[in-house]
Structure 1
């Protein structure tokens, strides 16, 4: 996998009884066409995210985005606007059944890059555990990002 893009990720997490948390990460990754209308975006997690040794891959289709993590943490999360999906989240400490309810999703990618925005809620044992929003900007290496 050759790194051909710069990925800027901005994430916001809010949980009951806790202060909202915002993270920002800029890393190199790989963007490849996947089928007629889809793309695969992948990058290696770092010590900064707490997931060092994990490969994160987004499979982007027209109406669905699937987030796969493989390595120290193994998980699959499916995002489809207006739908709820159950996923397993495997950690070194055990597995959790997690519900993902996607409120809003927009993915606009082509071979030169683009953006993904997903607003979703996470449920653990059928109770909402948190609200998350992440925005990902993807651009070819050497190009400046448009705001």
Structure 2
């Protein structure tokens, strides 16, 4: 079996993040940005540069989609890793300028129909910082292939 040649395909990402807190309207952020989609032996990678808008300028965010699991990794100014797997809890460290925090991620729903043509991924999860639940969150990412102008 030969390894797939790993081509980074240009994509347009529409990312909507929602945070829900008790008895408060959801806090939503939306971002449209250029990124890349790369097919791997185990799934795919979606990557993009964070901007001033997200407060994480100088950081690269990557979603690694492999089977029933999605791993979100941020490197640069902010360094963190979050593992999403429906029905499971994963604990990771979140690096801040003030030190590291323990973060528990409990994924309630993980759905995607991503392929090399694009698609949609939606992740619903609750997050606990230092074992105290801080809210429920939802990522919805729409991926559209960008075709070079001819």
TM-score for the superposition, normalised by structure 2: 0.89
- Could you tell me which residue of structure 2 aligns to residue 106 of structure 1? 111
Contact 1:88-1:95 within 8 A present in 2 as well: yes
For residues 9 and 97 of structure 2, what CA distance do their matches in structure 1 show? 28
Shift of 1:6: 0.1
TM-score for the superposition, normalised by structure 1: 0.90
Contact 1:16-1:129 within 8 A present in 2 as well: no
Structure 1 alignment gaps of length 5 or more: none
Structure 2 alignment gaps of length 5 or more: 1-6
Contact 1:122-1:131 within 8 A present in 2 as well: yes
Give the 3-state SS of the residue equivalent to 1:4 in structure 2.
Answer: strand
Contact 2:102-2:131 within 8 A present in 1 as well: no
For residues 135 and 39 of structure 1, what CA distance do their matches in structure 2 show? 17
- Could you tell me which residue of structure 2 aligns to residue 57 of structure 1? 62
Which stretches of structure 1, 4 residues or more, deviate above 3 A after TM superposition? 16-19
Give the 3-state SS of the residue equivalent to 2:123 in structure 1.
Answer: strand
Shift of 1:81: 0.1
| Greater Rg over alpha carbons, structure | 2
